[in-house]
Amino acid sequence: MTDGGNVLTSDGSGATAHEDLLVDFLNTLDVEELTDTLASEGELATWATARGFVPGGLEQVLAVRNALRALASGEEAELPDLPVRVAITARSVTLTPSTVAEAVLASALTLGIEGRLRRVKLCYAHDCAWAFYDRSRNGSRTWCDMGVCGNRAKVRTYRANNPGPPR
């Protein structure tokens, strides 16, 4: 089922496991708060286990995250070489990742094949850079939240174009 080109889930949210995993993974790096949920092997293990994956190597996971964050911001990026395991049954072909890096890569690959990877974006606010999935009809959303980052940008633009009276 679709709504304006977006795949709808049974709850009508439009969210799929692929975009949720990818956005959640990209947001393990919080530019605004200067925190990294995957800063150590232990933190990676906690994050991976909570999502049902084997952690894999931290260096590889961070390389995948950096490349996918660059891609989400509109830059070109090179992903590290990772195996993509495929399972074939009588009527389907599926990707079968085990590690975090493989799972995120499989999600990105699936979204890319579906033509939806371009909707995974980083917030345009330089002090935010939060990842989000653009569900707008024409795919032109630029801020993670119009009420916060979008409003700040519009206020800055307004103040730059309309200086107040001298004090």
Could you report the per-residue pLDDT of 132-162, keeping only the tens digit for each?
Answer: 999 989 988 888 877 778 677 677 777 778 8
Q: Interhelix angle for 58-72 vs 17-26, to 10°?
A: 100
Residue 10 lies inside a defined structural domain of this protein: yes
Say if residue 26's pLDDT is above 50.
yes
Mean pLDDT of the chain: 85
Residue closest to 111 by CA, chosen among 13, 20, 2, 8: 20
The predicted structure's pLDDT at residue 100: 95
Asked whether residue 16 is domain-assigned, the answer is yes
Q: Is residue 112 part of a domain?
A: yes
Burial of 20 (0-12, 13-18, 19+ CB in 10 A): middle
| Residue 166 belongs to some domain of the structure | no
Q: Does any domain span residue 167?
A: no
pLDDT at 53 over 80: yes
CATH number at residue 49: 1.10.3300
Q: Is the Cβ–Cβ distance between 124 and 153 less than 8 Å?
A: yes
Residue 20 is assigned to a structural domain of this protein: yes
DSSP string, 70-124: HHHTT----PPP----EEE-SS-EEE---BHHHHHHHHHHHHHHTT-GGGEEE-S
Give residue 85's identity as a one-letter amino acid code.
R
User: pTM for the complete prediction?
Assistant: 0.80
Q: Give the pLDDT confidence score for residue 52 in this predicted structure.
A: 92
Residue 68 lies in a domain: yes
Torsion of CA 146, 33, 22, 99, to 10 degrees: -170
pLDDT at 153: 67
How many Cβ atoms from other residues are within 10 Å of residue 48's Cβ?
A: 19
Going by the DSSP 8-state scheme, the letter that residue 161 receives in this structure is H
What's the mean pLDDT in 48-58? Answer: 95
Paired with 88 in beta bridges are 93
Domain that holds residue 111: 2-161
The number of distinct structural domains making up the chain is: 1
Q: How many CA atoms lie within 13 A of 72 on its CB side?
A: 31
